[in-house]
């Protein structure tokens, strides 16, 4: 396993302080690399509006963004 430091294990971009991707990065390990996952690679598609989001909830088995979440 290769430690790729501050790079994203999915897109390869730097998540180091000052890169613009430091905030909300999370530790990440793949089969071959360990490093971080940038916020953009963490995004998932909302099942209601189909927009990408990092802030979501699971509602009746569906991924929903904060705008579509039933309150």
pLDDT tens-digit map of 5-27? 999 999 999 999 999 999 999 99
Q: Is the pLDDT of residue 30 over 80?
A: yes
Catalogue the E-assigned strands of 1-71: 2-8, 26-29, 33-37, 44-45, 52-53, 56-59, 62-65
What pLDDT is stored for residue 71 in this prediction? 55
What pLDDT is stored for residue 1 in this prediction? 83
What pLDDT is stored for residue 69 in this prediction? 80
Find all residues with CB under 8 Å of 65, minimum gap 6, and list them. Answer: 46, 48, 49, 51, 53, 55, 56
Q: Where is pLDDT greater, at 71 or 43?
A: 43
């Amino acid at each position: 396993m290769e430690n790729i430091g501050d790079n994203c294990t999915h897109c390869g971009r730097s998540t180091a302080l000052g890169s613009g991707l430091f905030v909300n990065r999370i530790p990440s390990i793949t089969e071959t690399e360990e490093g971080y996952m940038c916020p953009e690679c963490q995004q998932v598609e909302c099942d209601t509006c189909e927009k990408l989001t990092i802030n979501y909830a699971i509602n009746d088995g569906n991924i929903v963004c904060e705008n579509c979440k039933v309150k």
